[in-house]
Amino acid sequence: MKKFIKGYVKKHIPGVTIKNDHVGNLYMIKGNAETYPCIVAHLDQVQREHSKDFKAIETEDIIFGYSPKNRQREGLGADDKNGIWIALNCLENMNV
């Protein structure tokens, strides 16, 4: 996914500097300024396993995972590809 994102940015969004840190995070900077807006998204999936009775619960405001047997919240196991798409669109539409 990182390779795809880097290639997409290089091909479609001119003027972006791409940097990696020592743990593999990507940083993309467009333009020069003392401060920048910061938009963050993640590539990894955040949940290893669910309980067998896991249910996704949706309220008006949030969606979360829940195990009735364990009586506890659990992660959804969701990734953030929508967040990546939003971040790339913001980067693309930012005029500098």
70 with 85, same domain: the answer is no
b (16+ CB within 10 A) / e for 36-62: eeeeebeeeeeeeeeeeebeeeeeeee
The single-letter code of the amino acid at 63 is I
- Decide: pTM greater than 0.75: no
Mean pLDDT within 11-38: 90
Structural domains of the chain, count: 2
74 with 53, same domain: the answer is yes
Q: Is the pLDDT of residue 18 over 90?
A: yes
* Residue pLDDT, tens place only, 28-82: 999 888 887 888 888 876 666 778 898 988 988 888 889 999 999 887 777 788 8
Domain that holds residue 32: 1-44+80-96
Number of other CB atoms surrounding residue 20 within 10 Å? 11
94 with 64, same domain: the answer is no
